[in-house]
Amino acid sequence: MISRILAVVLVMFAGTASAQTFVKATGEEPTRKLMSADEARDWQAVGRVNLPNGGFCTGALIAPNLVLTAAHCVHDPYTAQRLDAADISFAAGWRQGRAAAHRKVRRVVVHPTYQHQGKAEFENVGNDIAIVELDHAIRNTAITPFERSARPSIGTKVQVVSYAHDRAEMPSIEEPCEILGKSMAVFVLSCSASFGASGAPIFVIENGQPKIASVVSAKATWKDQDVSLGTSLGTPLQELLKELSLDESVFKRKQVSSKSLSEQLGRTQSSAFLKN
């Protein structure tokens, strides 16, 4: 079992200053920044999930209004409470202070069995995924949501596109890294990881097209090697999408207005309305 020989070092990547990026034995950074607009063009659907107090994670569009990221990203690292959707935003294709599209968040749904504990737990990695629903869909021909890949095998070459605390203003790509091991719902990858990279999509190239096979959850040591851990997007993603569907009816019921008809029609102004 992978869990018996794998020591999770750190899972909370949504911070900023104290982490160090993995460096390969050569002493070189394992990632390279996508410096030009041409290099970044194919990755516009990857963006920053901006969190309160200046923190961020990485996320990727899987539908015009849905961003896939890590579940631990949408929890307060100190209180373990779920963050308010109103305090989160998504900046697709973020580069040097500008986004290809920027959206506020309507709601957040996490995997139904995810239990945030504020610390590394191998058992949580397999369901460390969340969907951030945007308030308005991104309908831009230059920003195409990614399809999902079938479950890859050990030895498969993958690519990771992410933001991190030391490369917050433009995306970086790591290619190639590979899948070193896997359990039912967790991949062990040779890819690097750092603060901000949580939720980053892990891509398999199929017929020349990048497809999401996993999401970065944690970094770890495995067989005395620095690795990152990714959540499988097979059954866990299907369970999350089902939760999203079930949550929709509850969410809509919560939106029933308590205002009078005249207030709803805008004939009077209230302090609550003005705050919006």
On whether residue 257 sits in a domain, the answer given is no
On whether residue 272 sits in a domain, the answer given is no
Chain mean position to CA 7: 22
pLDDT digits (tens, 9 = 90+) for 74-94: 998 888 899 999 999 999 999
Tell me which residue has tokens 């590394």: 120
On whether residue 172 sits in a domain, the answer given is yes
Contact, 131 vs 66, CB < 8 A? yes
On whether residue 265 sits in a domain, the answer given is no
Q: Decide: helix, strand or coil at residue 248.
A: helix
Indicate the helix (H) or strand (E) that contains 227: strand 225-232
Contact, 197 vs 217, CB < 8 A? no
CATH number at residue 242: 2.40.10.10
On whether residue 180 sits in a domain, the answer given is yes
Contact, 120 vs 107, CB < 8 A? no
On whether residue 201 sits in a domain, the answer given is yes
pLDDT digits (tens, 9 = 90+) for 98-113: 999 999 999 999 999 9
On whether residue 244 sits in a domain, the answer given is yes
Q: Which region among 69-73, 82-86, 104-108, 257-261 has the lowest average model confidence (pLDDT)?
A: 257-261
On whether residue 271 sits in a domain, the answer given is no
Q: How many domains does the chain have?
A: 1
Domain range spanning residue 58?
2-251
Look at residues 174, 123, 176, 172 and name the one whose alpha carbon lies nearest to residue 152: 176
Average pLDDT of the residues of the chain:
79
